[in-house]
Structure 1
Amino acid sequence: MAFSSRLSIYLIALGAFSLGMASYVTAGLIPLITPAFLVSDAMAAQLVTAFTLAYGLVSPIVVALLPGHQQRTGLILALAIFVVANVASALATSFVTLMAWRALAGVGAGVYLALGIAASAALAPEAQRGNAIAMIMGGMASGTVLGVPLSLLLAEQLGWASAMWLIALLGAISLAGLYYKLPDIPEAPYISLRRKLVILKHPTTMTILAVSLLAAVASLGMYTFISPLIAASTSGSPPSIALYLWVWGVGGILGSFLIGPVVDKSQGSSVVLTIMLVLAVSLISLPIAAALHPWLALVPIALWGAVGWALQVPQNNALMHVRKPHGDGNLAVALNESALYLGSATGAAVGGLMLASAFPLWTLALSAGALAASGALLQLTMHKRSH
């Protein structure tokens, strides 16, 4: 791989790191934002909703409307919007304007990640495409696991706005580097919006997206309840819940980075099938392991984090491969990211309803594992159909 292409992928990954921070940091800033704007915790939490809805629902529409022959311009413009929105968030003097800027940041983030994954895949040789996508997803995971706690520590010392400034700074460094170093990206042919929407009728594409959705409902939805599940399942004196969260996150970082070479050397469909099976087993075994011994629960949690984050590398790689001849790989990746956010929200909502209906916590893990297993079955069906 040429040095300029490798450097560009690293710079895109740095931008993804700042995205990972922005996606999850606001929830941790709520205790600092509420007194600053004299709003309730429930109202402050809507900042997370604004970012998430804009990211998951609006960004695919924007990607669909973007011309495929201006990918470089679109990537840089999306990151610029993200940076400006975070600067404006830090300077916001009213809660309404802050919410508007968080929504705009969500749009920029969603468009940037979709175009960034597609650009990385285009810049890398086909034999290294999985590794290139893994760099971007690893950057996103690292921003979530490492960047969020660091930005929250900074916010505790310097105020909530300092976290936004840090996100904007990292994004600006990536933006400057990409502006000067990003080479021309191979252009996709012009495709009308009507032709792009045909993607929604493509069986293989929709199956890939369905597997991502099921995995997100199971993995990200279950993550919402990891703390009460561990507390309810363990006996004696379990380690701090923070340790379990860190193990899940570190597993995610390792899984995101290490899966790249595996994808490049193996059949993507078999990799996804293996990941979904491991995800199902780790979720189902979690309450059992926690009941046996608190420390034993760290094993399924580490596996869950690793495969949960790793999944999107072969998924995005498969989407780019399937849709490349049609010239709408960007849109496919954007829809995949939307599936993740929709799945996360759905999993959290369904889990909450189950708890409200007096289901025991262990049934959430069992249900999540069953969903992952159904995703594995769907993947197996697609694998057999393609062979």
Structure 2
Amino acid sequence: MPLPLYLLALAVFAMGTSEFMLAGLLPDIAADLDVSVGTAGTLTSAFAVGMVVGAPLVAALARNRPGRGTLLAFVLVFSAAHVAGAVTGSFTVLFATRVVAALANAGFLAVALTTAAGLVPADRKGRALAVLLSGTTVATIAGVPGGSLLGAAFGWRATFWAVAVLCLPAALGILVGIPARRARAGGAGGPALRSELARLGSPRLILVMLLGALVNAATFGSFTFLAPLVTDTAGLAKPWISVVLVLFGAGSFAGVTLAGRLADVRPGAVVAVGGSLLLAGWPALALLAAYPVALLGLVCVLGALSFAVGSTLITRVLYEAAGAPTMAGAYATAALNVGAVAGPLVAAAAIGAGGNRGPLWASGALVLVALAVAVPFRGVVVAARSGG
């Protein structure tokens, strides 16, 4: 894989760390800014909604600008938003910085997905996407626990400063490593924005976006509520929460890496086998969560399966949106983040009905819906090289 892919992944690592790090910082933020923990929790929602709205909007606005310059601008804006968040004493300002950071993150990921696909031959999009998304999985392994420890030692503002600084080598790498000749995904004479938006009328594209959103909703629904499962259901001490998150992240990294080698040539097999195992795996975790050994093992396996299936479906979005070269990444990003928004909401409702295990049952149900939708249209997922 070309070096620029790994430079893009470094930026995704910084952004992924920021997206997930608030889970361990909310109590300190609430106390420092004199708001309730519930109010502080809206910072997470602001970021997620900003990602969903921002991906297509920002990608559309940036479509006629050079890809390298656009990626650099997004990284620098993301860094600046964290500097502003680190120094503010106002919750309103901090909330605004999270929205700005989310818009920059969404725009970056939308352009980066398209750029990554353009850096490799047409039949290796899956492997390119795996490298890019490895930045997110490494963030769950190292970035989020590291940010939590940094916040505990030096305060939540230190974590914001760390993310801002981490963006700088990524920005330099983009400036030096992304070829200028890949300035625009669509290129001169490429399709008009109206034509690219019209791709959203394709039933095949809508289908794979829906499947990606459902699987991602299942993933993030349970991921969001792993902490009470560890401490209350399994009876483990709080430090084990970080261990479980690292195991989930390690599994995610393995899953996305393996899927990267199969998503271009055997996507149907990845979705069918991985989806079936997820359908059994989430309920199995719900039944065995009280047993620490089973919890630790299943969390790692489910992380691998979730990201293997999810990244394969997002790769299919890029194939099906091949006629929308500057907006394909935005469609993939939107599918990812619709799931990231909807999953925790469904899981939160499931807690009221089924306690700490409720999110796991909800994840199983979401996977069941995805497979039920996919079966009649399995040819869309299997056609790896059709390009839509």
Q: 1:8 to 1:281 in 2, by over 3 A?
A: same
1:238-277 alignment runs, 5 A limit: 240-264=240-264, 266-277=265-276
1:261 offset after TM fit, Å? 1.7
* 1:272-322 deviations in Å (ceiling 9; x for gaps): 23222222121122123336x431233332221112122343223222222
Q: Indicate whether 1:93 and 2:92 are aligned.
A: no
Give the counterpart of 1:43 among 21, 39, 42. Answer: 39
**Superposed CA offset, 1:47-84 (max 9, x none):** 22222221122232111233256323222222221122
* Paired residues of 1:319 and 1:329 also in contact (CA < 8 A): no
1: distance between equivalents of 2:67 and 2:135?
21
Q: 1:312 to 1:355 in 2, by over 3 A?
A: closer
Work out the CA distance in 2 between the residues paired with 1:51 and 1:354: 23
Read off the aligned partner of 1:244 and give its amino acid letter. Answer: V
Give structure 2 stretches of 5+ with no counterpart: 384-388
Q: Aligned partners of 2:195 and 2:122: how far apart in 1?
A: 26
Identity %: 27
- Does the aligned pair in 2 maintain the 1:278–1:303 contact within 8 Å? no
Distance 1:236-1:176 versus aligned 2 partners, 3 A rule: closer
Kept in 2, the 8 Å contact 1:233–1:287? The answer is: no
Alpha-carbon distance in 1 for matches of 2:258, 2:225: 27
Distance verdict in 2 for CA 1:34–1:172, change over 3 Å: same
Q: Who is 2:370 aligned against?
A: 375
Sort the Cα spacing of 1:166 and 1:113 in 2 relative to 1 into closer, same or farther, 3 A: same
Name the CA distance, whole Å, in 2 between partners of 1:273 and 1:227: 30
Corresponding residue number in structure 1 for 2:360: 365
Q: CA deviation at 1:263?
A: 2.3
User: CA–CA distance in 1 between the matches of 2:208 and 2:127?
Assistant: 19
Distance change (3 Å), C-alpha of 1:154 and 1:226:
closer
Instruction: Write the mapping of 1:126-145 to structure 2, written as runs, cut at 5 A.
Output: 126-145=122-141
Q: State the AA in 2 paired with 1:85.
A: A
Q: Does 1:223 align with 2:223?
A: yes
Give yes or no for contact 1:69–1:190 (8 Å, CA) kept in 2: no
Total equivalences in the alignment: 378
- Which of 277, 298, 301 does residue 299 from structure 2 map onto? 301
CA contact (8 A) 2:30 2:40 kept: yes
TM, length-normalised to structure 1? 0.88
Q: Which residue of 2 aligns with 1:286?
A: 285
- 1:238 and 1:78 map into 2 onto residues whose CA distance is 36
Provide the alpha-carbon RMSD of the alignment.
2.7
Q: Does 1:27 align with 2:23?
A: yes
Cα-to-partner distance string for 1:144-169 (whole Å, 9 max, x where unaligned): 33101112222222222221121111
* Stretch of structure 1 that moved more, 376-385 or 233-242: 233-242
Match 1:122 to one of 118, 128, 137: 118
Query: Residues of 2 paired with 1:158 and 1:269: CA distance?
Result: 47
1:337 pairs with 309, 333, 338, which one? 333
3-state SS in 1 of match to 2:289: helix
Partner amino acid, structure 1, of 2:289: A
Contact preservation (8 Å) 2:347, 2:362:
no
